[in-house]
Amino acid sequence: MPSLSTTYLITGTLRGTGLEMMHRLLDGGAMVIAACRNLVKATNLCRLQESGLAQGRLRIVQLDVTDDVSITDTIKVVAEPHPRGIDVLIHNTGIADVKGYSKLLDHGRQTILHNINTNVVSPVIITQYFLPLLKTPSADKQLILMVASSSGVAEVYGISKVAVNKMFAELAIDLKDRDITVAGIHPG
């Protein structure tokens, strides 16, 4: 059960599982930093921020997971009001940008790279940048959660999600000595 002493940062919170996870965490009493690509579209998050559910525990920040400048800007915005860092980083953002289901051989380099860049490369890069915020001297627990997929029905998406499963296993090994746990979840 989340608590006020637990601060979560979730990526891709405008809709879908990110939005739902955020609701559940707020309901459980956690402090939530909701990262979304486009603040202009975040009217639902702004409404939630003012609602009785959030009670001052929701911060909204801009983050395009594929953009290194956006990532470093987000770190600055998050670090100042959260000097003790964040406890849980949830890599929720994931795309299946394949213009409908079709054969793998139908897709060009840009489509394949775009899906793999967003789903696999971006969580690794964000984890690198966020490590100082995850491991502050006063923090006693840190967790990185990857939203994976058990199957991955669409071909390019499926390839990227197989890579995500292997990627978080590798991150778990890399971060073991720092006492940071890495886990994958399948939302069903």
Binding site for ligand NAP (CB under 6 A): 11-12, 14-18, 37-38, 63-66, 92-95, 118, 147, 149, 186-187
Nearest to 12 by CA among 39, 35, 29: 35
Closest approach of Cβ 74 to ligand NAP, in Å?
10
Instruction: State which residue, 98 or 147, has the beta carbon closest to ligand NAP.
Output: 147
Structure-token pair, residue 173: 């090994």
Distance of CA 163 to the CA centre of its chain: 16
Closest approach of Cβ 104 to ligand NAP, in Å?
17
- Alpha carbons within 13 A on the beta-carbon side of 188: 0
Closest approach of Cβ 118 to ligand NAP, in Å?
5
Closest approach of Cβ 186 to ligand NAP, in Å?
6
Instruction: State which residue, 121 or 139, has the beta carbon closest to ligand NAP.
Output: 121
Exposure class string for 109-131: b at 16+ Cβ within 10 A, else e: eeebebbbbbbbbbbeebbeebb
Instruction: State which residue, 31 or 96, has the beta carbon closest to ligand NAP.
Output: 96
- Integer Cα distance of 42 and 46 in angstroms: 6
Instruction: State which residue, 64 or 87, has the beta carbon closest to ligand NAP.
Output: 64
For 30, 170, 184, the CA distances from 88, given in Å and listed in that order, are 11, 18, 13
Instruction: State which residue, 137 or 188, has the beta carbon closest to ligand NAP.
Output: 188
SS3 142: strand
Closest approach of Cβ 162 to ligand NAP, in Å?
12
